Amino acid sequence: MKYVTLNNGVKIPILGFGVFQIYDMKECEEAVYNALKAGYRLIDTAASYRNEEAVGRAIKRSGIPREEIFVTTKLWVSDANYEKAKLAFETSLKKLDLEYIDLYLIHQPFNDVYGAWRAMTELYKEGKIKAIGVSNFYPDRLVDFIMNNEVVPAVNQVETHPFNQQVKANEIMKEYGVQIESWGPFAEGKNGIFANEILSEIGKKYNKSVAQVILRWLIQRDIVVIPKSVRKERIEENFNVFDFELNSEDMGKISELDKKESLFLNHDDVEIVKWLNGRKL
Catalytic site residues? 49
Question: Which amino acid is residue 105, in one-letter code?
Answer: L
Distance CA 25, CA 31 (A): 10
Residue among 28, 52, 6 at smallest CA distance from 152: 6
Distance CA 163, CA 47 (A): 28
HSE, CB side, 13 Å, CA atoms: give it for residue 47. 26
Question: Could you tell me which residues are annotated as the binding site for substrate?
Answer: 107
Torsion sign across C-alpha atoms 159, 135, 130, 43: negative
Angle between helices 197-206 and 248-255 (to 10 degrees): 160
Radius of gyration of the chain (CA): 18
Q: Catalogue the E-assigned strands of 194-247.
A: 224-225
Distance CA 132, CA 181 (A): 13
CA angle 280, 190, 4 (to 5 degrees): 75
Distance CA 9, CA 26 (A): 35
Report the run of H or E that residue 159 belongs to, with start and end. Answer: strand 155-159
Question: Could you tell me which residues are annotated as the binding site?
Answer: 107
Distance CA 114, CA 121 (A): 10
